[in-house]
Every structure is written in structure tokens, then in C-alpha cells.
Structure 1
Amino acid sequence: MKWKILLLIVSISSMAACKKNNDSGLTGKYVEVTPVEGRSYLKFLPGGLMVRGENNTDYRDTFSVKFSLNTITLTHKSNYGGAIKHEFRKIDDRSFEIENMLPQIPEAPKSFMLFRK
């Protein structure tokens, strides 16, 4: 009986920990600050979705989003290209840094984009 209770507690704790890893607390629209101010935005929606768009254009892409320690995993809604991991760092409740999501030369040094609400 003790083992069943212990197993139940461990299972519940594991599920809570996994859920917490996927929850960044980000909601709403965040606009690019650097490297090009106002160029693009990320809008975090309920259900683990994120829309990436560019201001002054019709460009919009929808991704499912999962967070883990210092990374964000984006899977295009159409499953085109599979999942892509980017380094991610939440600075405060209104801003975060993400590894540059735009196409780059593979040999170029890693760069980051700063977004602010």
C-alpha cells in the first residue's frame, strides 16, 4: 500500500514538473527590439501556440511551442521542417532573448533577438 501511495505521489510530481517546463508564463504580443527594432513580433497564444509575424507585411507563421531549460522548441503548425530548438532566456516579465530565428550563414557567430512586450 505504501508503494502505491509513493508511486502516485511521484507520478503526480513528474506530471507537474513536465507541465512547468512547458509553461514560460509568456502571453500576448512581444515586438523585436534588437537587432532591428519593430521588424517582427511574436504573439503567444493559449494552448502552447505562437504566431511569428513581420510588421508591415502579410507574413504570419504559427508554431506549437515547448519550453525547457534555456531552450524553446518550435514546431511549424504544418509540421514542415520538423521541430527547431533555439536558445531562450527570459529576462523579466516583459522581455526575453531568443537565438536568431531568421536564416543565417552557418559559419556566422550565434546571434540573438531581443523582444519586449
Structure 2
Amino acid sequence: MGMELQAVEVHQDMNAPLSHYYIFTGHNSYLTENQLNSDCSDVPIIKALDRGVRVIELDTWPKSNRDDVDVLHGGILNAMVAMSKCLRTIKNHALSEYPAVITLEDHFTPDLQSKVAKMVTETFGEILFTPK
């Protein structure tokens, strides 16, 4: 039996600074089930965003060849998902007048950090908040 997703309704004034609100957050937003033996996918990210989650967490690790980044729960033998796929999914499903926040638990070298920064910038373009 599938879970029915409903649009989230806003019941308060949304004109205050972001820090004035409680925000519905996700943890290990990419896991299909539990932390021990479930696979990683962008499907749970879509479901979370459809339920109104506005903070998505991605645990990011270098691929085995160390030249790209995957999202997975570290130390666990589960299927991974490409970070680029997760970012595109967030961009395509976090459509709202309200911000979405992505938290990255990163486990890689400075050169891969630069690659991820470029990936995030290229994926989100002008909709990415960057302080002046």
C-alpha cells in the first residue's frame, strides 16, 4: 500500500526572516529504508520534498576511483547514488516559493570539494543563494 502525498498548506505569516521558523528537515534523506542495509536513491528525496521537507541531507563520499562523488551512508554496504543525480532531483522537486536547504556531510579532499562546489553552482545557477 503506497503512501498518499498531499500538498503542504501554509498557516502563518511567511514574511519574517528564515531564522524565525521551525523547518521540516530530513536526515539521511537519500535512504530507501533504514541506515544499516537500505539502498541509496533519489526517490526518498522526492518523497520528502513532496511531504514538505525543506532541508535535505546528503552524505557525500569519493567514488572508488576518487575522481567523482557519490551519496551513500558511510561504512555500510549499500547501493550508492550519484551526487549529481541527487542535486538535479532536488532542483526539479523543491519547487516552491520557500527556500530549500541542502546539508552536505562531506568526506573528500579539497580538489573534490571544488568539484562539488562547481557541480552545485552549475546545477542551481541563479536560484542558488550566495551571500554578497
TM range (shorter): under 0.3
In the superposition, the TM-score normalised over structure 2's length comes to: 0.24
In the superposition, the TM-score normalised over structure 1's length comes to: 0.26
Structure with greater strand percent: 1
Structure with greater helix percent: 2
